[in-house]
Structures are given as C-alpha cells and as structure tokens.
Structure 1
Amino acid sequence: MPGSNPNNQLINIDVVFVHDATGSQQPYIDDARKFVLDNIAAISRKARLDGGNARFRVIAFRDHREQGDLWTVQDSNPFTEDAVELKKQLDALEASGGGDGPEAQLDALDAALRSSWRRDAKRIVILITDSAPHGIQEPGDVVPGSHPSALTPDSIRESYKTSKTVLTVVGCSPEIDSYKNAVKWYTEFSKETMGTYVPLPRKAGGAAITGRALVGSVLHAVDSHRIADRWEDWVLDKASSGQDAITTDLHSKLVAEGEQCHEINCNEHGDHDVQYSLGPVSRARVDNIVARTLRYRDPNESSQLADLIWG
C-alpha cells in the first residue's frame, strides 16, 4: 500500500490569494475582508492537515502603465498564520483603475509562483477576478508593451503544472461572463492543476457567499494535494495501463478506504449561492489527479510517456 497511514500524514499548506484590485472589485474586496477573521481558523480546522499548519498572503493586481495604472502588481506581503495580519493585507487594498477589459492576471500569477514557499508545503493559489487576462484572444485585446514577452498564457499554465501549484479561480459574475474566452480558459487552467473554477455571484449577503467560496476552494485543493502525493508513485508504476484504467482502479481503492473530499457546489440560478460539502471522493476528482500525475511527473523528463498515453 502506498505511503503511510492516510490519516496520519502531516500537511503544511501555503496559500496565496491573488486579488483583482481594479475599479469594479471593491465589493469583493470588502467581502474578502469580512471573510478573513471568521474563516481562516475554519480552514485550519476543517482541512486534514494532521498536525501541519497553514500560512496565507495577499497579492493584488491592476493593469499595466499603458492603461493608466500607477502599479501593476503589489507583491510585498509576507506569509502569515495570523488572521488579523492577513486582514491588514486586505485592508490595504483599494479598488481603482484597470483601463480596458483584460488585466494583469498573468503578471500576478507569476508573482505568486515566486512566493517564499516552504520546502515541504503544498502550494495553493486562489485567483479572485471579474475579467480576462491579456493574451487569450479576447476581442479587441492588445497586450501592453510593458508586459514581459516571455510571460504568455501557455507559459504560466505550464509553470503551474510543473511546479505542482494548485490554482482555483473564483470568477466574479456576471461581469466575467461578458468575456468570450475567460471562463473557458480559467476552467481549463485550474483543472490542469487539480484545482477548480468557482463562479461567484454578487448579491445581498455576499460576504457569506464569498467566505464559503474561498474556504471551499482551499479545502478542495488540500484534498487533491493529499491524494496526489500519497498515490503518485503508484500511479507512475501503473503508467503503461493508461489513464482510464488507472483512474478506475484508484477510485475503487479510495472508495474502499472511505476517502472523502470537499467539493464546491455553485447554484447560478435562483438563489445564486455557493456551498461546499464533504463527501465520497468522485471519479472525476481521481481522473483529474491521475491526469496531472501522468503528464507532469517530472518537467525535465522526456515527453515520450505522455505521448504514449495521450496520443
């Protein structure tokens, strides 16, 4: 059996909240401030850290100077375990600017990757935004000249996958739904990293909904990290069997063990709510973990095995 007792594995997590700070985001920033004090403790309590701990930090972004913004990314906040200190990081945010529709998400996501991660910590990034990044072919988008040419939508996706950083995108609706490619691009990106896309509606009582979305996002990522790390070697040993067969076998093993994971449920109709719940591990979750493990087992290795499995 791979790993040690699945109920006795210390897990440390480092979480970066990458928050859009353009003009339309003030209500969501206000909700995030309300979320912090009550819910940071809830994350540590509900995540299966088994003696480990959680650290958090905030990165903010707007757009490039060509759009009239005085700054593009604010990346000076350190990791902290203290909810009061994290709230101070959010309190310093003020929504303003942004220029055209697409913003500097790629720059901020790149900054998150360069965080002072602990060597043994699971890496989690939560992006909160209502717009597309530059460079994903939104109608009328022009990539600013000051944007680093090497930082592309493809390169940032590859960097997250190969660094084993789980990304969840919280998309603020209905604004984000007005873009042609944003939701699809964010959904695919987050899934590739074992994360998820969470549509976040704006309505009365938004702070509570935002809190559930952010807590659920972190818990979802912790569960994926935990299973992937425990079963990685086993999956790689079975690589020649193909993804579908490995997924079926691993899902059966996890169900037999009684494995449970947090899932986020988004109701975009009626009451427009977001909830998270703990239940039996889904086959879709296992398939996502297996896919990431097979394709990105080692960024320096040959791609021959991936070509064999994926065609």
Structure 2
Amino acid sequence: MEVDLCFVMDCTSSMGSHIEGAKSSIKKVVDYMANMKPAIVVRVGFCGYRDHCDGSDRLQIIEFTTSCDEFKNNVSNVSALGGGDDPEDVLGGLNAAVTSMAWRNPTRVLLHIADCPPHGRRFTNMSDTYPDGDPNGLTAEQVLREMRSADIYYFFGKITEYTETMTRVFQSIIGEYPVFDIKNTPDPEELVEKFFDATCSAINTAITLRGE
C-alpha cells in the first residue's frame, strides 16, 4: 500500500511552540511508518505557509520523499517566523500543497495544522489587512474543489477557537472531515502524542475510505 502524506502548517511566529511539537511528531510518524514497510510505503512532504507580508518566506515546501532521514533533516530547518496581522495565508498554503507538489500515490492525505484562519470577513472578525479576502484572488471553493478533484483527503488539526468559522465554511464546501483537537496542550510530550495520534488516524481513515 502506497500513501502520500503532506503536512500543511502555519509557520508564523504565533505557532512557535506548536511547530516544535509538530516537528517532533512528524519525525516520530516518519520513523513509525518506516517500520511499517512493506505493508505501508509513505512518501512524506511538507508545505509551510506564513503571510503575504513575508515575501520569499511566505511558502516553504519540502517535496515528497520516501527517505526518512532526508525529510527529517529538511523539516528540522523549518522555523516559526513572520506573520503580520492575525489571519494568515491559509488559502495560499493549501493551494501550493495541492497544485505545486508532486502527488503520485493512490492514497493521498493532507493534514493541515493551524491556529488562525484565512484572510477575509467570511472567516474572521480579527484585525485583517485583507478583509475582502485573499489578495491574489484565491477562494476557498477554488482551492478545496481542486483538492477534492485530486483525490486528496483533508484533515485539520485545531489549535485555537479562531479557526471554527473556517472549519464551518470549509465543510460547507467539501462536506464533513475529521478535525483533531490539539488545543490546550501545554506539555510538550503530550503535544507530540496528540500530533502523532492525529496523523496516524488520518492515514488509517484515508486508507479505509479508499477501501484498500
């Protein structure tokens, strides 16, 4: 069985403690999946996003690989930085993961981890430089339907209550999807375990949905 697993993560400054937990969890998941061979062969990738004010740091993509050591080394270089207002370039990050990465395997899992919503009044009443929505013209409908047409299963790791409206909007477009509650986890080891459990659950759910 072959699986593409992509982590899409808000990598702005507010995510500092969670990024470290997620990085530790990602490494743990990669090691776990490596030990599952040949039952499950996982290509793992990463797409970090920040905000429109962050220039060349707005997106940070680590392409899919089956090399655990290569991926772990690359993800170790991901840092929490940047971000301007409260919302972030969520749609840009998801769009890059869906359209710019080389998805190949039949079972495709995207695990999105974030603490803030996309830009636009549709998603939030927080202070927003782009209250009319994504400045590049991306819409949730466009991004999520492209994801669905590519047979990518979407899962969300919820860190704060600020993403609840985003979840409702997203589910109105593509239907119900699993939301993993990662918030209120101050203990680093517990945070790693929550990320690990969410990732393994996402993979198993996607495999079940495909009937493999």
TM-score (norm 2): 0.83
Structure 2 partner of 1:147: 135
| Offset, 1:122 | 2.0
Is 1:159 the counterpart of 2:146? The answer is yes
Is 1:33 the counterpart of 2:16? The answer is no
| Offset, 1:154 | 1.4
Among residues 163, 170, 182, which one is paired with 1:200 in the alignment? 182
Name the CA distance, whole Å, in 2 between partners of 1:35 and 1:124: 16
Among residues 43, 51, 70, which one is paired with 1:63 in the alignment? 51
Is 1:126 the counterpart of 2:90? The answer is no
Structure 2 partner of 1:304: none
Percent identity over paired residues:
21
- What whole-Å deviation, never above 9, does each CA across 1:144-165 have from its counterpart, x for those lacking one? 898321x101111211222211
Name the CA distance, whole Å, in 2 between partners of 1:158 and 1:146: 17
Report the CA distance shift for 1:195/1:179 in structure 2 as closer, same or farther (over 3 A): closer
Q: Structure 2 unaligned segments of length 5 or more: list them.
A: none
Name the CA distance, whole Å, in 2 between partners of 1:146 and 1:153: 9
Name the CA distance, whole Å, in 2 between partners of 1:186 and 1:86: 29
Name the CA distance, whole Å, in 1 between partners of 2:28 and 2:15: 21
Name the CA distance, whole Å, in 2 between partners of 1:216 and 1:22: 26
Name the CA distance, whole Å, in 2 between partners of 1:70 and 1:84: 26
AA matched with 2:26: V
Is 1:93 the counterpart of 2:45? The answer is no
Name the CA distance, whole Å, in 2 between partners of 1:180 and 1:200: 13
Structure 2 partner of 1:177: 161
**CA RMSD in angstroms, aligned pairs only:** 2.7
Structure 2 partner of 1:236: none
Structure 1 partner of 2:95: 110
Report the CA distance shift for 1:221/1:45 in structure 2 as closer, same or farther (over 3 A): farther
Name the CA distance, whole Å, in 2 between partners of 1:37 and 1:153: 30
| Offset, 1:209 | 1.9
Contact 2:111/2:202 (8 A) holds in 1: yes
| Offset, 1:179 | 5.2
Among residues 53, 77, 99, which one is paired with 2:41 in the alignment? 53
Report the CA distance shift for 1:37/1:154 in structure 2 as closer, same or farther (over 3 A): closer
> Which has the greater radius of gyration?
1
Among residues 199, 206, 209, which one is paired with 1:221 in the alignment? 206
Name the CA distance, whole Å, in 2 between partners of 1:117 and 1:180: 28
3-state SS of paired residue (1:181): helix
AA matched with 1:112: A
Larger RCO (CA within 8 A; separation ≥ 6)? 2
Q: Structure 1 unaligned segments of length 5 or more: list them.
A: 1-10, 231-311
Report the CA distance shift for 1:188/1:222 in structure 2 as closer, same or farther (over 3 A): farther
Name the CA distance, whole Å, in 1 between partners of 2:56 and 2:65: 27
3-state SS of paired residue (2:64): coil
